[in-house]
Amino acid sequence: MLLGSQTLGGAYTLARATIGQMVIRIALQCNEADAYLIMDQDNPAPRLLSRPGEGIYNDAAGSIEGNSPFQAVWLSDKTRDGYLAKIRARADQNPESYPGPIVFEGNAPADLRENIPLRLALQKAPAQIPAQAGAWLGAPNSIKGPTEAIFRRQSGGNLLVVGQSEERTTTILVVALVSLAAQYPKGASRFVVLDSTPAGYPQREFLQHIIGAGPLEIVQGSNTNLAEVMTGLAEELKRRADHESSGPEVFVLIQGLQNFKKLRAEDEFSFSSSDTGGSLNPAATLLNLITEGPARGIHVIVTCDTYNNVSRYLGRKTLSEFEMRVVFQMSASDSASLIDAPAAATLGMHRALFYNDREGSLETFRPYAQPDGGWIGDVARRVL
């Protein structure tokens, strides 16, 4: 790491332990307080510098015996610009493509265009079915790749998103849809989208814009045709269970679970008709999809507004089948119930937590901002 600063004093100074990890120090002319901060507490030499460009190089963690005075090279504007032009020309001749600089902006949502793995996935159609696929959720708060939820064919392979902002939860759902679709060859994945957002709402228009952008196989559902869609899913799950057969990876995305009253589990043994020959109602079908679906290639991604509604619709036992959970700001008690920690109570405006129960991990990340129409059009041409 190369760190440059005009001063190390004031409210934004680095901890002494951090500076201690940087053995090489270079100081130009500065005041006495900065001299002691840059070098050692017994090394005030930088404050004695007087000529322009005069400096001290020290590779002994600032101790006085490591001082090596030097004179910085002076470049005229013309010479400097000439060197920069040569560097630019050399970079332009290089056929390799490199990512841009990483700039962490904590007061803004993450930009989806900066997701390099998604960009690469959109550039080239996959040749084979992946062993596992990930839904990218946002930018990390650490130096690593984008935060992602990995879907495997094993129990618990479902994702729950809890937050009261429909714009944020819808964006996570849409980005998950696009990122998963980009990782499967044509025909190797299917998507079922249940959307409860009223007509005319921006979130519904955003979701419909994505769904209607191309020929991707997407089954749409709402409260009006919910029973029909859930019956189809129940039959697919039964077929895979009876014949030990598989098929395309199926992702069931439910936006706003709290608005689907028919999906609320009133009774653990609720049926639409008699126990003999009757079919399961939509709520019971959802329960079966959550508990039995992931091992057979059917995964459920659900968004819900509050922990109260999660409890009412799913219950504690079914909640345990969602090994991956995203939570936005909420009370400490709700946070503890969802991710076994009160951490969500202190989340800021553009922050969320990703909890992975199987791995026992908890990661803070910045969710993506809703992408613009240009991004949607680009995605439609390449994937949808």
Write down the pTM of the prediction.
0.77
Q: Picking from 19-23, 39-43, 369-373, which range would have the lowest pLDDT averaged per residue?
A: 369-373
Average pLDDT of the residues in 293-309: 95
What percentage of residues in the chain have a pLDDT greater than 90? 55
Give domain status of residue 102, yes or no: no
- Taking phi first (over 0 means left), then psi (-120 to 50 degrees means alpha), and beta for anything else, what does residue 110 get? beta
Q: Are 332 and 365 in the same domain?
A: yes
Look at residue 376 and tell me whether its pLDDT is greater than 80: no
Q: Are 145 and 271 in the same domain?
A: yes
Task: Name the residue among 47, 51, 49, 56 with its Cα closest to residue 27.
Answer: 56
Give domain status of residue 104, yes or no: no
Give domain status of residue 105, yes or no: no
Q: Are 165 and 271 in the same domain?
A: yes
Can you tell me the distance from the alpha carbon of 31 to that of 111, in angstroms, rounded to the nearest whole number? 40
Query: Pick from 68, 96, 124: which residue ends a domain?
Result: 96
Q: Are 89 and 211 in the same domain?
A: no
The predicted pLDDT at position 97 comes to 74
Look at residue 4 and tell me whether its pLDDT is greater than 70: yes
Query: Pick from 96, 121, 139: which residue ends a domain?
Result: 96
The predicted pLDDT at position 270 comes to 47
Burial 288-321 (b: 16+ CB within 10 A, else e): bbbbbbbebbbbbbbbbbebebbbebbeeebbeb
Domain count, the chain: 2
Average pLDDT of the residues in 309-316: 92
The predicted pLDDT at position 269 comes to 46
Query: Pick from 49, 64, 96: which residue ends a domain?
Result: 96
Q: Which residue range(s) make up the domain with 176? A: 112-382
Can you tell me the distance from the alpha carbon of 135 to that of 117, in angstroms, rounded to the nearest whole number? 11
Q: Are 170 and 122 in the same domain?
A: yes
pLDDT level of residue 277 (50, 70, 90 thresholds): very low
Q: Are 160 and 44 in the same domain?
A: no
Q: Are 76 and 127 in the same domain?
A: no
Average predicted confidence (pLDDT) for the chain: 87
Q: Are 232 and 347 in the same domain?
A: yes
Instruction: From residue 160, give the alpha-carbon distance in Å to each of 54, 69, 179, 209, 250.
Output: 59, 60, 17, 23, 16
Tokens of 29: 């002319």
DSSP letters along 295-334, please?
Answer: GGTEEEEEEES-HHHHHHHTHHHHHTT--EEEE-S--HHH
Give domain status of residue 364, yes or no: yes
**Contact between residue 145 and residue 344 where contact means Cβ atoms under 8 Å apart:** no
**CATH number, domain with residue 269:** 3.40.50.300
pLDDT level of residue 274 (50, 70, 90 thresholds): very low
Average pLDDT of the residues in 89-107: 81
Task: Give 164 or 269, the one with higher predicted confidence.
Answer: 164
Q: Are 163 and 312 in the same domain?
A: yes
Could you read off the pLDDT of 187-238 as tens digits, one per residue? 889 999 999 887 778 777 888 777 766 556 788 888 889 999 999 999 999 9
Give domain status of residue 173, yes or no: yes
Give domain status of residue 106, yes or no: no
Give domain status of residue 73, yes or no: yes
Q: How many CB atoms lie within 10 A of CB 375?
A: 15
The angle subtended at Cα 121 by Cα 118 and Cα 125, nearest 5°, is 155
Look at residue 163 and tell me whether its pLDDT is greater than 60: yes
Q: Are 121 and 15 in the same domain?
A: no
Q: Are 43 and 117 in the same domain?
A: no
Give domain status of residue 315, yes or no: yes
Q: Are 255 and 361 in the same domain?
A: yes
